Chains A and B, each alone.
Chain A
Amino acid sequence: MKRSDVAVTGIGLVTPLGLTARDSVRAWESGCAAPKREVKELGGTSLAGAEVGALPEMDAAARLGERRMLKYMSDAAVIGCIAAREATTDANVRRRFAPERVGLYAGTGLAGAGVKESDSMIRESIGEDGAFSCRLLGSRGLPKTNPLLSFKILANMPACIVSILESVKGPNLLFTPWEGQTGAALAEAWEAVALGEVDCALAGAADYPCHPATYVFLRQRGFLRDGEYPSPAAAYLVLERAERAARDGQRVHAEIGEMEAADCGGSSFDPLAPRMGRSFAAAPAVLTALACLTDVAAPASVCGADGLAFRAVVRRLP
């Protein structure tokens, strides 16, 4: 099957360095490191003083032009949707492509971020003996719970909300929860465009691994090494055939010669970690976006906590 050249025509980024691609790249090029905040809930343990990456203040409703859907969205979904909106706007996706011919290929992280909703539910479900009670969960806990909780913890929701807000109706694949899985999603998107299975692919990921329970989990399981910290981030790319972009007069940020996810057989490696923290599922998409936008980017390769390495061959266009 003939493969076509694949162009990147849209990029959206939300990182601790900035809430847009431009701001994130500017901060990256100037050598900034991500601001951090303390995880106060871990005070009184030997993890006291633990830090996670912090995003700048943002008005999500204004960025998305949408308030109603926010109540369904986890933190990861919010930043994923903002990044996706920036990317589709950049590439004029709605104006140029039939929704049925646009595919969605995405990675999503641990669901821990969504469980912050569960605090009141758990509180109401504790019996006089101080232990969790299923009976109390049914009688008191669930009635006190956000009825939309499932939307915030189901792993496919961040990407499904992207599909609704961006009107993406084509083929789709969602993988979870680590870097290599997102890398596989990006590689699938690249291949689907190159082989003509879709006219356009919206590909990326969002992760918000900053909930206190998630932080403890990441430390206890060794996913965070000494000096590393988790960070929220999201990135989406719009991929299309280079000839279509040229025909439409669409600006091309970069061309992707190859994208692949393959067994790395070694310990995880994330070149963003020293300055941006570890955004796990989002990292391959963030790296590729940076490689498309700046010569100061780290190599677009990452070895995930799942033992899968991702590599993109990016040729940035002036």
Chain B
Amino acid sequence: MRRVAVTGLGVVSPIGVGGDAFWDSLEAGRSGIGRISRFDCTTFTAQLAAEVKTSLDVPDEIAEVAAQDPKVGFAYAACAEALAGAGMRGLTRDCLLHLGTSLEVFDLSRVIRQGQPDFRAVFDRPSGNKRLGFQMPLDTAAAMIAETLGAPGQSLTNCSACAAGAQAIGHGFRNVRRGKWEIAVCGGFDSLINPLGVGGFQLLGALTTDNDRGETACRPFDASRSGVVLGEGAAVFVLEPLEKAVAEGRRVLAEVCGYGSTLDAYNLSAPDPGGEGAERSMMSALADAGLEPEAIGHINAHGTGTRLNDQVEAGAIRRVFRNCWPRIPVSATKSVTGHLIAAAGAVEMAACLLALIRNRIPPNPSLTRVGEGCELAHATGKAIPFDGEYALSNSFGFGGQNATLILRRYDGQH
């Protein structure tokens, strides 16, 4: 089977747009979390989020749609950066485009008629833009990317919640490795920072209401962690056969070498307290890469900042990595980006990739006192040096979907 190289990376995140800006903030531990500015949330119990505040360079037709559904703009910008980085002018017929996302945006103001909820209002007020309306299908971004950046050979929209971005990358990796596709442009994009997105998660009790804590409110693995802070953004990767990338003179950023996906089949909103699904996800990725746990030099945890999730993940990591876990530094990107839901796995793989390139492991800056059961070799305080060969990224989704990716430092050998 073929080795798979990453030759392009695009990132849109609350802590920076573009791979370099994202890394600079991540390495410095700068948080993107603050009061929600996108809508009036003063009567919501959860008032924090990590918003993308940088304006994006996108075509007018994308900008118009992104005004209602910002994640469409994030997907386009990340995709454009990734393609440019790989030296591609656009998508081509030998490309698989596979992007993960989670929830349609519903414009609730469009279903009010004469002061009452009435779905005839949707009919009364058709939008001038055919893509704008009460609801926007999840394949909108993929369709608009194809219209503006070129048509891929196949376009897939993955909807596996918090595991969607990682699944899309894993699927793209496997298809390039087995020779089904020559290029996979894959990743995740998302934004739930809208009234129904924040309101829905607030109702579930998943979000922190520790609003006064501001930029340090998302506290993965900390004893005082109190819940998720929603974030938004996108990360997209260009994957292609290593041999071909090298032969054609493209810069190889890293290799993708392992992927695993499992289901908890336990509960919709909580992980299996035994962590068995998470454990199998990591074991499956290690087996796929042909690695023993000892080979891993860095773990980017899913680390949501919720009581149960962090404890379960830490336990699963300790079981998988047995007696070597105390020497594997663990970071938790959500401490500064918030939870990007379907984009989380992709943005966190970008963090792993940049850690391999920059030889540094970013910190989990809001971790000051490790919570009970969360004991791991946490990277706290400042970024630390990293010379390991492999980095592993976990994504464990709402609904019980798990995905793990493993990246390898590219050593110039092929």
Contact = CB atoms under 8 A, between A and B. Distances in A.
B265 to A, nearest CB: 5
Given A44-B120, A150-B201, A110 B261 contact: no
Most buried by A among B41, B104, B119, B399: B119
11 contacts: A108-B159, A122-B117, A126-B116, A138-B199, A147-B204, A154-B102, A163-B264, A172-B167, A174-B160, A213-B119, A263-B153
A41 B199 contact: no
A117 to B, nearest CB: 10
Contact of B171 (A146, A173, A212): A173
Nearest to B107: A132
A153 B102 CA distance: 10
A262 interface: yes
A168 interface: yes
Interface string B184-215: 00000000000110011111110000000000
B134 A217 contact: yes
B139 interface: yes
Interface in A44-65: 44-47
Interface in B12-65: 39-45
Interface of A: 1, 41-42, 44-47, 72, 99-100, 104, 108, 110-112, 115, 118-119, 121-123, 125-126, 130-132, 134-139, 141-142, 145-151, 153-157, 160-161, 163-164, 166-178, 181, 184, 188, 211-214, 216-217, 220-221, 261-263, 306-308
B149 interface: no
Interface of B: 39-45, 102-104, 106, 108-109, 111-112, 114-120, 122-124, 126, 130, 133-135, 137-139, 143, 151, 153-161, 164, 167, 171, 178, 195-196, 199-205, 260-269, 277, 280, 284, 397-401
A153 B109 contact: no
Nearest to B136: A217
A235 B14 CA distance: 40
B396 to A, nearest CB: 12
Most buried by B among A46, A118, A178: A118
Contacts of A139: 43
Contacts, number: 228
Contact of B42 (A100, A135, A188): A135
Given A172-B261, A307-B155, 17 more contacts: A47-B123, A72-B268, A110-B137, A112-B104, A122-B112, A122-B117, A123-B116, A131-B112, A135-B40, A141-B199, A150-B200, A155-B103, A172-B263, A173-B158, A176-B137, A212-B122, A220-B130
B116 A176 contact: no
Given A167-B265, A172-B160, A134 B104 contact: no
Contact of A154 (B119, B161, B260): B161
B181 to A, nearest CB: 12
Nearest to B200: A150
Contact of B263 (A115, A153, A170): A170
A35 B264 CA distance: 38
Contacts of A213: 111, 119, 122, 134-135
A1 B120 CA distance: 55
A240 B181 CA distance: 25
Contacts of B154: 184, 261-263, 308
B114 A130 contact: yes
A153 B262 contact: no
Nearest to A116: B119
A176 B139 contact: yes
Contacts of B138: 155, 176-177
A68 B160 CA distance: 23
Contacts of A177: 137-139, 157, 159
A135 B43 contact: yes
Contacts of B205: 147
Contacts of A115: 106, 135
B103 A41 contact: no
A125 B39 CA distance: 14
Contact of A100 (B115, B126, B262, B268): B262
